[in-house]
Structure 1
Amino acid sequence: MAETGDNPRERRIMVAVDESEESMHALSWAIDFLSIQPTDTIILLHAQPLPRVYSAIDGYIFTSDMVQSLQKYQERITEDVFQRAKNISTEKNVQMCLQTRVSVGDARDVICEEAEKVGVDLVVMGSRGYGAIKRAFLGSVSDHCAHNVKCPVMIVKHPKKK
């Protein structure tokens, strides 16, 4: 009896999620088009931005209460992102194979580091569709990851709005 098909290999698929519609579309696409199996694991990764550091020279002084408030706000954003992602996976009956990961830092670096650390087979991410000028100033997370992640990267474009 052939081994292929009898014992499907577990795939580890990392989907980078944030508060954007593009990332949720990428998750939905991954579930629909990658034929997620019960043996697969979908790792939802959310990169929390580094807290901004201001000095008294900049004219800003943050109390510890303000810093805690900013941290709680970021935690609420993360919870909301994961809840939206879980709702999508529940609708598509794949909630049993989800894991969540949060890492603080620049999304470009976080995605590359976490993909290697976790040992994923594929990274799926949305594309904001920035034009050349915005991409030059803001950079492209998906472009950076496509060139630096050591496994395949699937960049999913959100359908154009009519």
Structure 2
Amino acid sequence: MAEEAENERRVLVAVDEGDESMYALSWCLNNLVFQNSKNTLILLYVNPPRGGYMPFETAAALDDPEIHPANLYSPEITAAMERYSQEVADCVLAKAKKLCKDLQHVKVETKVEDGDPRDVICEMAERLGAHVLVMGSHGYGLIKRTFLGSVSSHCAQNVKCPVLIVKKPKSIADARDQTYQSE
């Protein structure tokens, strides 16, 4: 029994709405997770924090100590936002699980967490005892990365396990070249 636990590998794959994360998952399934191994594949989706862009009046209202951010939206709007977030998470995980449908001896788990993806992915890799973290890369240039931040760069610097960042090729020919290189 202890030998079985030793041979088990926990592969955490961060997935989101982008094609990049699904490409990373496909790459992982073709190159990292093997049918007859004792792997556990954990698909993690992180609901980003609510808020985003607010009207100037709302942002200014936050400076008022009498107004609490949780009270900015009506309960109906908050419930609708939560339902929508859950629907997006369910859709992304269904798409990811569909890619995993042919796995027979690999255990597939799904997790949905809320918060800043950079922090949540790092925390979950630690909490779940991941042996490797697999992520896609959006390939933002320097300017976008400066303003938006790079989730994959943050995780590569802060996660204790190895991090594999899979970059999606720009063309079909590039994808073919990558396939030949991995064989």
Q: Give the letter aligned to residue 130 of structure 2.
A: V
Q: Structure 1: how far apart are the matches of 2:121 and 2:39?
A: 19
Matched, 1:12 2:10: yes
Matched, 1:86 2:97: yes
Q: Structure 2: how far apart are the matches of 1:98 and 1:7?
A: 16
CA displacement 1:62-104 (0-9 Å, x = unmatched): 21001000000000000000100011111x4358510011111
CA displacement 1:45-72 (0-9 Å, x = unmatched): 1110112286995179521001000000
Q: Confirm or deny: 8 A CA contact 1:127 1:157 kept in the other structure.
A: yes
Q: Give the letter aligned to residue 58 of structure 2.
A: D
Gaps of 5+ in 2: 62-71, 173-183
Matched, 1:133 2:143: yes
Q: Structure 1: how far apart are the matches of 2:143 and 2:56?
A: 33
User: Which is higher, the Rg of structure 1 or of structure 2?
Assistant: 2
Aligned length: 157
Find 1:154's aligned residue among 156, 161, 164.
164
TM-score (norm 1): 0.88
TM-score (norm 2): 0.78
**Equivalent position of 1:43 in the other structure:** 42
**Equivalent position of 1:58 in the other structure:** 58
The 1:118/1:133 distance shift into structure 2, 3 A limit, reads: same
Q: Structure 2: how far apart are the matches of 1:35 and 1:83?
A: 19
Q: Structure 2: how far apart are the matches of 1:44 and 1:7?
A: 20
Q: SS of the counterpart of 1:67? A: helix
Q: Give 1:132 shift.
A: 0.6
Find 1:30's aligned residue among 28, 31, 44.
28
Q: Give the letter aligned to residue 40 of structure 2.
A: T
Q: SS of the counterpart of 2:27? A: helix
Q: Structure 1: how far apart are the matches of 2:147 and 2:105?
A: 37
Q: Give the letter aligned to residue 42 of structure 2.
A: I
Q: Confirm or deny: 8 A CA contact 1:25 1:126 kept in the other structure.
A: yes
CA displacement 1:90-139 (0-9 Å, x = unmatched): 1x435851001111100000000000001110000000000011011111
Gaps of 5+ in 1: none
Q: Report the RMSD for the aligned CA atoms in angstroms.
A: 2.5
Q: Give the letter aligned to residue 123 of structure 2.
A: E
**Equivalent position of 2:66 in the other structure:** none
Matched, 1:107 2:142: no
The 1:68/1:56 distance shift into structure 2, 3 A limit, reads: farther
Q: Give 1:35 shift.
A: 3.7
Q: Confirm or deny: 8 A CA contact 1:89 1:95 kept in the other structure.
A: no
Find 2:82's aligned residue among 48, 54, 71.
71
